[in-house]
C-alpha cells in the first residue's frame, strides 16, 4: 500500500493536465499474459498481470511519447499447482516504461506501434527455500537483483476511448542475484494482452 500511495503522490500533478488538449492523453490499463522465466538452460512459464498508468504526449498526430508507471506481478506457481515441494519464482515489480509510439493514422480508429525501454524495480523479491535441506546457505537469499532493464515493443488499436492490443517486456539484463553463492544467468520476459481506457 505504501508503494501505491507514493505512485499516486508522484502522478497527482500530472492529473491536472487538460484532457481536452489533444497534445496530452491519460491512459489507465490492465494487462495479463505469459511470464517466461529463463535461467541458464532451463525455461519456466507462468502468469504476469499488470495495472498501469501512462501519460501520452503528442508531438504530432502521428508521433507521441508515453512515459508511465505500473505494478506487475509475475509468478510461475500457477502452472505448478499439482506439484508439491517446489520453489517457484514469484516477483512484484514497479515498472517505469517510456514508450515512443507511431500512430498509423489520426482518424477514429488507428493502429499504434510502440517501442521503448522499461526500467523495473523489484519491490517484492522471491527468496530461495530448499525444504529438502533447511541448512542450505541459499535459503533466505533473494533470487534476483533489485533492478532490471527491458525493451517493450507493442502493437495497439485505438478507438475513441479504448486502447487494446499486445505488448512484450524483453529482459535485457542478467538479473540473477549471486550473493557469492550462485552463478549463471536469469532473464525475465513477458508477453501480455492489454486493455486500456484513455481520456
For residues 174-186, average pLDDT = 86
Confidence class of residue 146 from pLDDT cuts 50, 70 and 90?
very high
Q: Is residue 195 pLDDT above 90, yes or no? A: yes
Residue 86 is predicted with a pLDDT of: 64
Residue 117 is predicted with a pLDDT of: 98
Question: Of 129-143, 166-180, 181-195, which gets the smallest average pLDDT?
Answer: 129-143
Q: Which of 99, 22, 96 is nearest to 66 (CA)?
A: 99
Structural domains for the chain: 19-198 (2.40.160.20)
Query: What Å distances lie between residue 160 and 51, 76, 112, 199, CA to CA?
Result: 21, 36, 13, 9
Cα–Cα distance for residue pair 191/131, rounded to 1 Å: 32
Amino acid at each position: 500500500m505504501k508503494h501505491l500511495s507514493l505512485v499516486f503522490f508522484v502522478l497527482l500533478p500530472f492529473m491536472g493536465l487538460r484532457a481536452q488538449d489533444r497534445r496530452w492523453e491519460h491512459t489507465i490499463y490492465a494487462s495479463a499474459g505469459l511470464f517466461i522465466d529463463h535461467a541458464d538452460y532451463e525455461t519456466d512459464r507462468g502468469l504476469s498481470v499488470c495495472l498501469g498508468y501512462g501519460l501520452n504526449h503528442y508531438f504530432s498526430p502521428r508521433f507521441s511519447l508515453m512515459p508511465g508507471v505500473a505494478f506487475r506481478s509475475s509468478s510461475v506457481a500457477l502452472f505448478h499447482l499439482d506439484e508439491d515441494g517446489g520453489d517457484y519464482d514469484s516477483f512484484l515489480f514497479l515498472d517505469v516504461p517510456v514508450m515512443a509510439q507511431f500512430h498509423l493514422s489520426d482518424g477514429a480508429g488507428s493502429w499504434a506501434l510502440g517501442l521503448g525501454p522499461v526500467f523495473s524495480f523489484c519491490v517484492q523479491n522471491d527468496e530461495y527455500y530448499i525444504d529438502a535441506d533447511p541448512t542450505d546457505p541459499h535459503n533466505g537469499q533473494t533470487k534476483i537483483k533489485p533492478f532490471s532493464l527491458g525493451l517493450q515493443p507493442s502493437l495497439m488499436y485505438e478507438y475513441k476511448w479504448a486502447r487494446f492490443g499486445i505488448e512484450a517486456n524483453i529482459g535485457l539484463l542478467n538479473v540473477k542475484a549471486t550473493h557469492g553463492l550462485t552463478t549463471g544467468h536469469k532473464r525475465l520476459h513477458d508477453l501480455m494482452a492489454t486493455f486500456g481506457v484513455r481520456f
